[in-house]
Each structure stands twice: as structure tokens, then as C-alpha cells.
Amino acid sequence: MLPSISICIPAYKRTEYIKRLLDSVFIQTYKNFEVIVTDDSPDNSIEELCASYISSLPIKYFKNLSNLNTPENWNEATRKASFEWIKLMHDDDWFSDKDSLLRFAEAIEKNPSVDFFFSAYTNVYAGNDHYQPMFLTPFWESALKQNAEILISRNVIGPPSVTLCKRNTIEYDRTMKYVVDIDFYCRYMQQSSWCYLNQSLINVGINDAQVTKYTFGVAEVQLKESLLMLEKKSPKIFNNILVYDGWWRVLRNFKIKKLSDIHAIGYSERLPYKLRQMIFLQSFVPHFVLKVGVLSKVFMVFAFIISRIISPQKKMNFTF
């Protein structure tokens, strides 16, 4: 039986992007789908655009009663879906060719025990039409199979538009903006099997208006959300060197040298032991040294070895 797919589009004002996306949906050879649009826009421009597709697409438009913002509008779009399979599409992304949805549907049929799929994709940079294909390497695919928590080191899945997943009670955390996709993937993949499609099926629009663009490097957003995400994890995740390396780079990039630097961004919860240990060890290394990639990696490996030798049971107290 062919899978029924809900293409869920959380929208906000940008009619030119939504039109590009809907045009890419219209040409899909696979037709067993519905289109759900949940609109945060302050005007009727998206509603009028959707109305122009009523005769050509199975589209359902919903105007949000209040502005839900990212990522709650994503959740709202998936809640409105009628079908079992959810294909979230951001309004500035679009299907790369007419058979993209077909490839996802075929993957569902070939992998009946899998609940979560994601494909390769192509970044398309606004303004210069620069194209950057993004494929999952064998190394990162193997690492992801061992532990989805390595996504803190590198988001090797990509944005939600490249995913297709079965309806689930897990939602995107409405308190997050920067690491919200990584947080969702980790929680979802803990409960479900996954499959990677090694073909670029989605074009991902890259532009300065994206949330990840204007929150990048903002400690009160990026670092604080990463710490909130960490609260949901077991301390054992630091036993994976890729996870450890990811957090090492997060602390390095934000120049965290003491616990008061963490408190300064508005985070007051007690940090996991190995994270406190990591901050302590970085405090002895000048930042200009840590900025050198090779040297930082050497110190990281040394710190990781130390972390495996000196356990919490040693009762070393990092109060600095």
C-alpha cells in the first residue's frame, strides 16, 4: 500500500519562497499527499497565494490565531496533518526535482520497520546562486548509527526539510531556536530506527533572515539552548569522543573559562561533572592556542583521556 504523506509548511510572510515550494510540490510524480500550511503572517498574502493553488493541489490552509513563532508553528503544522507520515518543509526550501517525494515513498516501502528518513540535500545561497551538495559520509553515518548524540558535534542530518518521519508524540521543543532540530533528532532517533537516502532530494535555501543566522554565536541563545538540551541527556554521553569534542568546541568558541561565564548567560543549573572538568582544563590553555584547530584537537584528546581516568567518584571539586 502506498504511504500517505502530509507535507507540512509553517509559513511566515515570504510569498515568493512559498510559491517556489508549492510549485515544486505541484510537479511531484508521487501524488498520495496533502499539503498543510499554518500561517503566522500578519497579513493575508499567504492565504491568497494558497487559494490560487486550491484547484491544483490538495492544500489545507490554517491561519494561526496568534503568532506561534519558530518552532511552535512547526508543531502546529504537524498537528493539523491527517496522514501517518510527516514531511515538514520550511518555506524557503523546496523539492529538488519531480521525483523527490517518490524517492521518500519508495524508501518507506523498502524499509517497513524504519520510522525516520533523511536525504542528502543541496544548500542554495540566496543572492549568488551558489550550490553546495551535502552528503553524509560513511564515517559520520557509522558514528550516527552508534550514537545519535554525536549531532552536537556536527549536524550531519541537516534541517528538518530533509527529513520524513512517522507521526509521533515527540515535538520540537518550543523553548529552543538554534539547536531545536538537533534536540528533536536525538529524542526521536532514541526511540526509532532510521535510514539515510544518499541522493540530494531537497534544495535548502540559505539566507540572512533565517533564525540560525541571527542567533549564531549568541551565547544567550546558542550556548544556553545547548545546555538545556544537555539536561535531557545521560552524563555517559561524554564517554563518546565525538560528543566530547562537540562540547569542547562549544565551550572554546564561547570562551568559557569559568563557571561564572555560564551563569552570566542566565543558566544557573549545576553542570554535569565532565563538562565542569572540561571548563577547568580549558582555563589553563590560552584562547589563541585553542583557536588553532590542530592544537585544540590535541588538547581535546588529552582532556578526554583525563576525563576517562578521573571519574566523578574521585570527588574532585571544580569550583572556579
pLDDT (tens digit per residue) in 27-83: 999 999 999 999 999 999 999 999 999 999 999 999 999 999 999 999 999 999 999
The confidence score (pLDDT) of residue 2 equals: 81
Torsion-angle region of 129 (φ positive above 0: left; ψ -120 to 50: alpha; else: beta): left
Please report which helix (H) or strand (E) contains residue 294, including its range. Answer: helix 293-309
CA separation for the pair 272, 2 (Å, rounded): 46
Residues 6+ apart with CB under 8 A from 156: 136, 137, 140, 141, 144, 150
Residue 314 has pLDDT above 80, yes or no: no
Mean pLDDT over the full length of the chain? 92
User: What is the tens place of the pLDDT at every residue in 182-234?
Assistant: 999 999 998 899 999 999 999 999 877 666 666 777 999 999 999 999 999 99
**pLDDT-based confidence at 319, cuts 50/70/90?**
low
Q: How many percent of the chain have pLDDT more than 90?
A: 85
Residue 124 sits at φ, ψ, to 5 deg, of -120, 115
The confidence score (pLDDT) of residue 208 equals: 73
The secondary structure of residue 298, as a DSSP letter, is H
| Percent helix, percent strand, percent coil in the chain, to nearest 5 | 45, 20, 40
Q: How many percent of the chain have pLDDT more than 70?
A: 95
Residue 312 has pLDDT above 80, yes or no: no
The confidence score (pLDDT) of residue 91 equals: 93
Residue 210 sits at φ, ψ, to 5 deg, of -70, 145
The confidence score (pLDDT) of residue 69 equals: 93
User: What is the tens place of the pLDDT at every residue in 276-299?
Assistant: 999 999 999 999 999 999 999 999
**pLDDT-based confidence at 311, cuts 50/70/90?**
low
Domains and their CATH numbers in the chain = 5-213 (3.90.550.10), 218-314 (no CATH)
The confidence score (pLDDT) of residue 320 equals: 52
**pLDDT-based confidence at 317, cuts 50/70/90?**
low
The confidence score (pLDDT) of residue 1 equals: 72
CA separation for the pair 283, 278 (Å, rounded): 9
The confidence score (pLDDT) of residue 165 equals: 97
